[in-house]
Each structure stands twice: as structure tokens, then as C-alpha cells.
A = this chain, B = another copy of it.
């Protein structure tokens, strides 16, 4: 059957991707999380956050001219841990370790590569993440903010990064590069601070959250708000809304992958539509659902449900330039740009990057567009990024 052939091919591709990933992950770039603090920060919406702090990491060395800086902006469920390991025994390196490191596409022998935890970072309870968000203590009350934390935007993530760079004496980037929600920050950087950004790479990205994307993102927020433990976001003294958060993570996982990936996974677990458990009991689930649930539940432990709501909102409010006119904002861009969407992305479909790239081209920008392949959908931009290593490397050198 054609489907079976497709699945077999998918398995091979996945295997080769994962092998690649393991192979490149063996170079041990040891990294540490650093802390950046601001006494006060004014959000795009005009609210003040006191005693703001975020974590950051860097790979490579800042040169004397301070002109070799590449900023990596992270995706929705990630942190500033883009590359390297915290200890030699660390089993999982940073998410883009395949392209960031000595001699790699983003060569830390040349560049000072830097990444910053966003505000309201999803992994609020991960000891390797430092963030300020609804789960943080409000210094005015001594209690967790909950929903009294102001709405934050992609622009706020950009402005915190800019404050950190300024604090390091940096006045210009060599490039900004990000995947997914990181791509939103990268393109917003290029529109808001064009003199800072000579090169911008958007991976699995978009120029704005259109009506479709905003509604899709809302699907991640809905189960959290339905969880009885959520309590309008004021749950920090009680039970956390982990069922709602687990559901949101299940949705995110599926949105970021593809039928080909799920069906290969199902095949390996001998998944069958006619499983006995769910046939005989409405409260039992098919094995693929249990697999998704258990992985999500495990991941939820270090994450905060309110933080997820705030990241959904930041992503929904995204239009590069944060104005009401994307074309005018893109007209501000001075950077050479590279868009790398994934052909079979079901979350941020390629038309989103294509639209921005086409507009930039019409505006006379030096823009490049190339679709990633592989059967991981949106995650081709994370787990399959090594396929673009040469293109990224060349783009950065020009």
C-alpha cells in the first residue's frame, strides 16, 4: 500500500534525522545560565514590571569590536538553552545544538551567540530557566501575580533582549535568528530596530498571526481555563491545573507534527483502531492517546499554566512591527532576510512566511525563501534544522 511505503520512508528519514542529531550532539559545549535584572520595565501595553529578571546563555566570545553577536530567539516551549550542555553528563543538549557550536553553521569560534529566556517562559519551574511572569512574586504584594501580571507581547521579549545587549555594551547585531515564536521576535527586531539588524533568519515563522493562527493558538488556552484547579489563574497556593496544562501540551505536540509521524509512532506501538480497551469502556483510551497524554503530563511538571496563556496571547498579538500595517512595518527592514518554513507545517503553514518574503521582495529587500523538508511538520525547523546548516552558514558569512 502507498501509505505503508510512505510510512517506511518516513521512519528512515526520522531515523537519519535523529542519528544526525545524536552525532552532532556529541561535541560538548559546556554552558551556564546567567541572570539579567531590570529594576523596572515598561511593557508595550504601557504597564510596569518591577524587578524583572530573565536568564540568558552565550556560546563563543564577544570580540573587542563587539560586532560578532548573533541573537537566537527561542520558540514557545523552549528556553534560552539553544546549544551545549550544562554538565558533561547532561543527556540532552540545547535544541539547536546541531547548528550552534565550534565549527558548526552558527560557528562559535567566530560568533558570540546569545539567547535569552522570554518573559512568562513556559518552563517556569525548570531550575535552568529564569523568567518573570504570572508565577513570579509581585514585589508590591509578596504574592504570585497570577492574572494581575500585565499582558506581554513579542515586542516586550525583544525589548528585554535589547536592554541586556545594551548592558553588555553591544550596539548592533551580526544577525538575529529564531524558530516559530522565535521567528516572530527575529522579524520584529528587524522592523523595530532596523539599524541593529543586518541579517535576519525566520525559521518555521510568520509575519503576523492571522485569524486562523489566533484561533488555533486559542485552542491551547481553552483546556487550561476549563480546568477546575485553574481558579481564574489564582492557584499558586493550591492544586495546579495540570490536567488542563497536559491537554494543552497534547494539542501543541500534535499541531507541531504530522500524520506521517503519528502513524509511524502508532505502527511501532501496534496501534489499532479496534483496540479492546476503548471498545469496551468509554473511559479507556487508544494507545496513541495514552502515549501523547503521558508524555505531556510528564512535561507539564516544570511548566506553568498561566505562563502558557500569556505566551498564547503574546503570539496572538503578533504582527511584525506591532502596528496595524504589516507592509509599512516590513518597509522598515534593512536586514538581508532568509525564510525557512517547513513544507508540511500544519501549525504555521508555509503561506505565512511566503507572504512576508513576497512582500519584502516587492519592497526591494534582499530576501531568500527555502522550504524545509522531512516528515516532522513544524518540528522540521527544530529537529530537522541540520538540513539548512550550509545555507545558514553561507547567509551569515555574506
Report which A residues bind B (CB closer than 8 A): 1-3, 6, 44-45, 147, 149, 151, 153, 208-216, 218-219, 222-223, 226-228, 233, 243-244, 247, 250-251, 254, 258-259, 262-263, 265-267, 271-275, 278-283, 285-286, 288-289, 292, 309-310, 313, 316-319, 322-324, 327, 346, 349, 351, 354-355, 358-359, 362
| CB pair B351 A3 closer than 8 Å | yes
Nearest 7 CB-CB pairings of A with B = A211-B266, A212-B259, A212-B262, A226-B226, A211-B288, A273-B319, A228-B228
* Contact between A349 and B259, CB atoms less than 8 A apart: yes
Residue of B nearest to A154 (CB): B273
Nearest-neighbour CB distance to chain B for A145, whole angstroms, equals: 11
Q: Are B1 and A289 in contact (CB under 8 A)?
A: no
Q: Which of B2, B45, B247, B282 contacts A309 (CB 8 A)?
A: B282
**What's the Cα separation between A250 and B226 when bound, in Å?**
14
CB distance from A184 to the nearest CB of B (A): 10
Q: Are A2 and B354 in contact (CB under 8 A)?
A: yes
Q: Would you give the shortest CB distance from A228 to chain B, in whole angstroms?
A: 4
Find chain B residues with CB under 8 A from A265 CB: 211
How often does this chain occur in the complex, in copies? 2
Chain B residues within an 8 Å CB radius of A288: 211, 214-215
Establish whether residues A285 and B218, one from each chain, have CB atoms under 8 Å apart when the complex forms. Answer: yes
**B residues within 8 A CB of A263?**
210-212
Query: Which residue on B lies nearest to A233, using beta carbons?
Result: B282
Across the interface, do B327 and A1 meet the contact criterion of CB distance under 8 Å? Answer: yes
Known contacts: A215-B288, A288-B215, A289-B218. The answer to whether A318 contacts B282 by CB under 8 A is: no
A222–B219 touching, CB < 8 Å: no
> Given the known A-B contacts A211-B266, A262-B212, are A244 and B226 also in contact in the complex, defined by CB atoms under 8 Å?
yes
CA distance A209 to B287 in the complex (A): 13
Residues of chain B with a CB closer than 8 A to A285's CB: 218
Report whether A282 and B151 are in contact in the complex, using a CB–CB cutoff of 8 Å.
yes
Does B215 contact A317, Cβ atoms closer than 8 Å? no
A262 to B349, CA, bound (A): 14
* A45 surroundings in chain B (CB, below 8 A): 279-280
B210 lies within 8 A of A259 (CB): yes
Q: Which residue of chain B is the closest to A222 with respect to CB atoms?
A: B247
Do B273 and A219 touch across chains, with their CB atoms under 8 A apart?
no
Residues of B within 8 A of A258 (CB): 212
Q: Is the CB of B281 within 8 A of A151?
A: yes
Taken together as a complex, chains A and B put the C-alpha atoms of A244 and B358 apart, in Å, by: 40
**Separation of A282 and B215 alpha carbons in the complex (Å):** 15
Task: From A274, A358, A362, name the one whose CB has the most chain B CB atoms within 10 angstroms.
Answer: A274
**With A and B bound together, what is the CA distance between A358 and B263 in angstroms?**
18
